[in-house]
Amino acid sequence: MPGREVLTLTLAAALVCGAAAGCSGEDTSKLTVRLLVRDINLRAEGVDCAGTGPYQHVHNRSAFTVLDGAGKRLASGELPPGRSVGTFEEDLGVEKVPTYCEFAVPVEVADRAAYRLVVEGKAPIDLKKDAGNLVAVVP
């Protein structure tokens, strides 16, 4: 029965659309969430990494949620592998240098004045808008 198939597809599309920020009629932006874990671990630059010490919950496949200032969920997913970035600009002349672990994940979120990031259910971290990025630094 063609009418039933159309109704079923329409209902399925409405359910999927209701779960996505882009379907709400609000303006959205494609941004990159950049989470910089300042763990100052010794490693080579540009290699896969994860948070260490008190940041062990920040790693590849950690669940994250982007919230607006009022606590409304705007985006969620899993973190990709982190990449190590040097803490100093000068060349120290050694293979392993003090690094931070940076996680970068693209998101599409409704435009808001404030954003917060939750990783693995821990306390929210304020995100700052910076040139197409939402940036958080821990601690």
Q: Tell me: the pLDDT tens digits for 33-58?
A: 999 999 888 899 999 999 888 889 99
Kindly report the number of other CB atoms within 10 A of residue 67's CB atom: 20
Identify whether the C-beta of residue 138 lies closer than 8 Å to the C-beta of residue 125.
Answer: yes
Domain coordinates in residue numbering, the chain: 26-138
Q: Is 27 or 17 the better-scoring residue by pLDDT?
A: 27
* pTM, to two decimals: 0.76
Tens-digit pLDDT profile for residues 92-138: 888 899 999 999 999 999 999 999 999 999 999 999 999 889 999 98
Residue 136 CA to residue 103 CA, distance in Å, equals 10
CATH of domain 26-138: 2.60.40
Q: In whole angstroms, how far apart are CA 55 and each of 35, 84, 102, 122, 137?
A: 12, 14, 12, 10, 12
The pair of three-digit structure tokens given for residue 17, joined into one six-digit string? 């659309």
